[in-house]
Amino acid sequence: MNDMSPVVAAGIFVEREDGKILAFKRAYDVVDDKVYGFVGGYVDEGEDAVAAAIREANEESGIVVEIPNPDDCYTVMVTSRIQVKLFRAIIIDGHENVGKTFDETEGVSEWIEPADIYMKSPFYDFNKAALEYFNKE
């Protein structure tokens, strides 16, 4: 990888039947205890974005997810060097782990109202656009 290669991050979008979405409250981004983003993180060298999203879901939230359609992906450059890929996913194991902390330096996953992910976040534009993408049907 050369110095000009983009850094890729991958995450998941999960929506429950009641309309709430899975979000991650990052410990190092917290402002008024209400800063949310999607579950995800950086893609490791030699790893593809789908594998990274699945790994990050397990590391951050203790859940096992499946990405049934990798083409159902919201992709955007959030800075001149950071590309984010967000995949629609379903939880296949670990539902009971949502709300538990797996790494105190990272944060905790929660089910929240969709508006909270962009109304209370420094990533307002990205989160709002991602929600619009996944709710386009």
Could you tell me the residue ranges of all domains in the chain? 7-134
Classified by CATH at the fold level, domain 7-134 comes out as Nucleoside Triphosphate Pyrophosphohydrolase (3.90.79)
- 8 A C-beta contact, residue 18 and residue 112: no
pLDDT of residue 121: 64
Please, which pLDDT band fits residue 79 given cuts at 50, 70 and 90? confident
CB atoms < 10 A from the CB of 44, how many?
A: 12
pTM for the model: 0.85
Percent of the chain with pLDDT over 90: 40
- 8 A C-beta contact, residue 24 and residue 37: yes
Sheet holding 107-112, edge to edge: 36-37, 21-26, 107-112, 101-103
